[in-house]
Amino acid sequence: MVQLSTTVTPAKEQAEKYAASVFETIKKRNPGEEEFHQAVEEFLASVIPALAEQPEYEKQGILERLTEPERLITFRIPWTDDQGKVHVNRGFRVQFNSAIGPYKGGLRFHPSVSGSIIKFLGFEQIFKNSLTGLPIGGGKGGADFDPKGKSDAEVMRFCQSFMTELSKHIGPDTDVPAGDIGVGGREIGYLFGQYKRLQNRFDAGTLTGKGLTYGGSLTRTEATGYGLVYFTREMLAAKNETFQNKKVVVSGSGNVAIYAMEKAQELGATVIACSDSNGYIHDPNGIDIPAVKQLKEVERKRIKEYLQTHPDADYVENGNVFELPCQVALPCATQNEINAEKAQLLIDQGVLAVAEGANMPSTLEAIDLFHQNGVLFGPAKAANAGGVAVSALEMAQNGTRLSWSFEQVDAELDRIMTTIYQNSSEAATRYGHEGNLVVGSNIAGFLKVADTMLLHGII
Ligand code: NDP
């Protein structure tokens, strides 16, 4: 397992033994689930200083209980394409931990979705949600369905079949799904429509990321990307730096990437590149965000089509967007997109800060390299918590039947992201790892959940 420091005390030695033995059990019990192992390994290595201070966590089996989902549901999703052919996909919902509130976390529709991916996402969600300071537990779900190239009618039939089973397991006080990769406003609309029809109730608080006409919150669409930039602004400020005149590179061109680019440009940066799974565009004068929105949100086209309206930009098929020199890198596509080699290239070309909009986009080796080379590093569970934070604000608005203004939600998002930065930074210092936001965010997220689990008894 990853080692964080060499100072050894008997309590720390015992904590390390405890974490290592839990990790061994996890690997045995969940063979082949590499993404899940990776997320747990990073977490366990980080919380050792907190375990060393509180032996009760080991006695009460807190790590064993935290790493085993309360419930994992898998189900069949049959649906019919436009030619009348029947297809079957696999659906998942992991209800990981409900110590501090109802399960909350997005749904991912992507062909790579597996039990391992849903479990790593659900596990991280526990601590992310805790960091927001809002009363939400951790969950995640999805299906190995690829919405790309499907008609609206096919996506609708798929969503209806998916929700027919999922509806048995969710509700405003039980489990509240939202969007993630491949699940945006269109999919949430179809999912909510089917849920409402099955329940014969308008339970707005059962899904977040809804449209504004049926209980959605202003700023939810922008929240993860804007929140990422607010968090990165705080990281930079700690080193007396700002976004002003910085070159920024973003991976992905979906929901998180678009609004991270928009806010970074608003704060004075030049975003020179973004990507999709086929390649990247490079526009040294600054990416034209409305053009990317039109391509991706309205026309659902590939990013290379940007060249049709911006012939001076470059497109690199299958390229690594992080090969471009930049001061700030914001990975906003998917897990493990930055390995050690890409991290080293970013470092060699003078990157100042890397903040994760995607979930677990950096490998453990890449994170070590960033830390060893003094790169400011913002881990996903802190840096991209803005989406779920505003989802919880959407639930609050649904509960009171009120709608808050864009400015009100945006100000609250900014406050939450700034507080997450401060709490993570303070926890890192308090536990002997000043500047290490991986340690800080894991410990800050963990303590609230673990202490609440102690209060609830053995469940
Ligand atoms: P979208 O589906 O809107 O966009 C995803 C983007 O990433 C697309 O450009 C997509 O390209 C690219 N991408 C996805 N998978 C891969 C892959 N395997 N290889 C290369 N590129 C890929 O998703 P979001 O923007 O919502 O999510 C992006 C990331 O942010 C995910 O890691 C998600 O978990 C995380 N996140 C999202 C939140 C939200 O509120 N939406 C909240 C917190 C985290 P292509 O179209 O070619 O597939």
Residue 143 falls inside a structural domain: yes
Pick the catalytic residue from 12, 104, 128, 140.
140
Whether residues 177 and 111 fall in one domain: yes
Judge whether 105 lies within some domain.
yes
Q: What is the pLDDT of residue 53?
A: 97
- Whether residue 81 is found in the same domain as residue 196: yes
Return the pLDDT at 98. 98
Q: Is residue 125 part of a domain?
A: yes
Residue 37 and residue 107 share a domain: no
Q: Is 211 part of a structural domain of the chain?
A: no
At 403, list the tokens. Answer: 């709608």
Report pLDDT for 352. Answer: 98
Tell me the two tokens of residue 70.
């309360």
Output the CA torsion 345→349→353→358 (10° steps): -40
CATH of the domain at 173: 3.40.50.10860
pLDDT of residue 330: 99
If DSSP codes are grouped into helix, strand and coil, which group holds residue 104?
strand
Which pLDDT value is given to residue 4?
Answer: 64
The answer as to whether 242 is a domain residue is: yes
Question: What does the block give as tokens for 167?
Answer: 């509806």
Q: Using CB atoms within 10 A of its CB, is residue 319 exposed (0-12), middle (13-18) or buried (19+)?
A: middle
On whether both 79 and 190 belong to a single domain, the answer is yes
User: Where does the pLDDT of residue 8 fall: very low under 50, low under 70, confident under 90, or very high at 90 and above?
Assistant: confident
Give me the pLDDT at residue 7, please: 73
pLDDT digits over 273-331, tens only?
Answer: 999 999 999 999 999 999 999 999 999 999 999 999 999 999 999 999 999 999 999 99
Mean pLDDT over residues 52-76, rounded?
Answer: 98
Mutate to test the pocket of ligand 1, among 256, 388, 441 (most ligand atoms within 8 A of CB): 256
Residue 140 is among the residues annotated as catalytic for this protein: yes
Asked if residue 251 and residue 183 are part of one domain, the reply reads: no
| pLDDT above 60 (res 6) | no
Distances (CA, A) of 404 to 52, 206, 355, 390: 43, 19, 29, 11
Name the DSSP class of 214. G
Q: Which of 145, 181, 261, 299 to mutate to test the pocket of ligand 1 (most atoms within 8 A of CB)?
A: 181
Verify that 100 and 20 share a domain, yes or no: no
pLDDT of residue 65: 98
- The confidence score (pLDDT) of residue 2 equals 61
Q: What is the mean pLDDT of the chain?
A: 97
The number of CA neighbours under 13 Å toward the Cβ of 166 is 32
Domain assignment present for 413: no
For 349, the domain range is: 223-374
| Chain segment 115-170, per-residue pLDDT in tens | 999 999 999 999 999 999 999 999 999 999 999 999 999 999 999 999 999 999 99
Work out the pLDDT band at 440, boundaries 50, 70, 90. very high
Closest ligand 1 atom, CA of 128? 43
Q: pTM of this prediction?
A: 0.97
Residue 3 has pLDDT above 80, yes or no: no
Q: If you average pLDDT over residues 3-30, what whole number do you get?
A: 91
Domain boundary among 18, 38, 67: 67
Say whether both 61 and 94 belong to one domain: no
The domain tally of the chain equals 3
Under 8 Å between Cβ of 7 and 48:
no
369 lies in the same domain as 227: yes
* Same structural domain, 89 and 133: yes
Amino acid code (one letter) for 263? K
Question: What are 270's two structure tokens?
Answer: 């030049």
Per-residue pLDDT reduced to its tens digit, 259-273: 999 999 999 999 999
